[in-house]
Chain A
Amino acid sequence: MTVAAPAPLEPPATAVVDNARWRRLRPDTPLPWRRPLALAGLAIIGAWAVMALFAPLIAPDNPLAQNFATLRPPSGAHWFGTDELGRDVFSRVLFGARITLPLAVILVIAAMIIGAVLGGIAGFFGGWVDNLIMRIADLVFAFPGIILALAVAAALGPQLRNAVIAVIVVSWPAYARLVRSLVLSARSSQYVVASRLLGSSGLRVLFIDVRPNAAGPTLVLAALDIGNAVLLLSGLSFLGLGAQPPTAEWGAMVAEGAQNFSDWWVGMFPGLAILTVVLAFNFIGDTLRDMLDPRTARAVRV
């Protein structure tokens, strides 16, 4: 009997699920450790959350305190330098987290609730209700994000609160569409039909049978969306339609950096803050999506 070398294989993956890579980790490695990206993402968000929470204690200076040391490069006294009004950029970045993080999360939750409710109604009742809601959603979708947000924010007035509203207006259609399609496919699925046959009312079916299945993808979308929300919000502030001076908001700070582009630190650090936060949420959201997609889920769980 000849013992041949492992069967010659094509370098890329064949049609069968590729589990070999995960074989290298011991089977009892806890799930989160198998996804270094998600771990990094959680760590970064955690760090920012801590910094946002304790900003008043950690920040070396008052973010609004102006002094004569304007546009100084990073130094021992001012880690991120000072801006054109002499304010400490590092402190402003820290306090910026207190604005951006909570607002983005609230924003996404609001958009998710509005969108999910509308989408659920559309999917469940169908008919002209469905048509109306979906046409509106399509119309919003057709407009490139920031242009619509721009219009809404401008119409409502340049204020942080209005920028948040604008981003909610732009974000809800994605949830509506998702939830609607989930409801539609659930409606015709076996377990819902069985439940109706057993006498469950429509509402009960919606909440007990459909919701668990709809929750997963919706939450994944929300996780991925937080990053987007941060980008849109800071984008609007960059354009002057969100946070107003002297509020220390990252987007507005980058705009200031654009005015003083030769003093690179003014715009660089707030922008990096945005980047790290969005990247972290995207890491998490990406992994979540892998875990919930049945095709890739096996590679993660096994």
Chain B
Amino acid sequence: MSSASATAPAVLRPRKEARHRDLRRFLVQRLGTGVVLLVGITLVAFVVTHLVPGDPAAANLGQRAIGNPAAVAAFRHQYGLDRPLPVQYIVYLKDLLHGNLGISEQSHRPVLTDLSEYVPATIELALFAIVLSMLIGIALGIVAAVFRDRWLDQFIRIVSLAGVSMPVFWIALVAFYLLFFKLGWLPGGGRLDPTQNNPAHLTGLFTVDAALHGQWTLFWSALRHLILPGLVLAIYTVGMLTRFTRASMLEIMGNDYVRAARLKGLPERVIVLRHVLRPALVSIITVAGVAFGSLLSGTVLVENIFSWPGVGQYAYRSAINLDLPAIMGVSLFVALVYIVVNLIVDLLYGVIDPRIRLS
């Protein structure tokens, strides 16, 4: 161990600088891999979508136009489909760097515009659902671990198994029917009531925007509209997180240092929260990252039922119609989310576990 001076400030300064340096290096490294991944995704998405049996022309032109070779040729030319594949890819990349993701074949608008409309809606929904899932899931997992093998644990286990066994599109329907149609407790669709106007645009997340502008009725309305789809989406991830939290905590509880904490006479609450939960959070956060991905999956199935104007619906329509630019756009979005989520997870690792920070 180095023998620095004993006065606190002098010791703190070099440590903080070192930490910032490490963080910077870490971020740069991560961004580098992220860019590589993005390029990889574009390549794969490009190859897959351009080599499949389906014909975009057939999907997007009417039946009569298909029979007309001139119309098909015009369509192909307009979307650059008549050029050699590698050239198409280079063109695509070039456009990408200029922020041009192409024109959607269904909406005839720039894909970027489409995405900028739909992405915030889905992000808001997914964020709401993941926060909800983590709060409920981790709490249930802790309870299950603490009351291991007693009836509460068994009950939570069944509930979480049920959660991951439920078809999300079905429970969405059930929730819609019960809570909106029959009981009228919550709104049945859309992000706001039909008569309300969107809040002033800042992030695209209605709750955030409304709150930032002090438009509290809009805020509550947006929140109420989030609850039903958010809850439905969260069911699967709550199940996931509960099981992982429980397993993670039980594994940690078997460790010597937990017994050592008991030997110190610390109250049980401190032991569970500080000695067991903290190390468990590392794997829990990992699972939360995966859970976020599965939430995005869920949006495809759920946005339709709740008339939520998000990427899920857009992805579905694009796939059905073989709208290649749109599909590529969605792929890029998915890849971006994956990278950002991984980055956040890695950063959180560093916060929770000093061993990672220092290595």
Contact = CB atoms under 8 A, between A and B. Distances in A.
Q: In the complex, are there CB atoms of A and B closer than 8 Å?
A: yes
Interface of A: 10-15, 18, 21, 37, 139, 142-147, 150-151, 153-157, 227, 231, 234-235, 238-241, 251, 254-255, 257-258, 261-262, 264, 267-268, 270-272, 274-275, 278-279, 282-283, 286, 295, 299
A281 to B, nearest CB: 8
Contacts of B162: 275, 279
Contacts of B167: 231, 234-235, 238, 251, 254, 271, 274-275, 278
The 3 nearest A-B residue pairs measured at CB:
A271-B170, A155-B52, A154-B319
B345 to A, nearest CB: 13
Contact of B268 (A10, A21, A264): A10
Contacts of A278: 165-167
A300 to B, nearest CB: 11
Contacts of A142: 37, 41, 293, 334-335, 338
B262 to A, nearest CB: 7
Contacts of B316: 150, 239
Given A12-B148, A270-B170, A278-B167, 10 more contacts: A15-B255, A18-B148, A154-B320, A234-B167, A254-B169, A254-B173, A268-B174, A279-B165, A282-B165, A299-B149
B330 A15 contact: no
A144 to B, nearest CB: 4
Nearest to B296: A144
Interface string B218-261: 00000000000000000000000000000000110111101100
B197 to A, nearest CB: 28
B170 A261 contact: no
A235 B294 CA distance: 13
Interface of B: 37, 40-41, 44, 48-49, 52-54, 145-149, 157-158, 161-162, 164-171, 173-174, 176-177, 181, 250-251, 253-256, 258-259, 262, 268, 272, 293-294, 296-298, 300-301, 304-305, 315-316, 319-320, 322, 327, 330, 334-335, 338
Given A144-B293, A154-B319, A295-B251, A274 B300 contact: no
Task: Provide the main secondary structure of the chain A interface.
Answer: helix
B173 A271 contact: yes
B305 A258 contact: yes
A179 B116 CA distance: 41
Contacts of A147: 296-297, 300, 315, 330, 334
B327 A157 contact: no
Contacts of B176: 261
Contacts of A156: 52-54
Given A13-B148, A264-B177, A274-B170, A151 B319 contact: yes
A15 B54 contact: no
A80 to B, nearest CB: 15
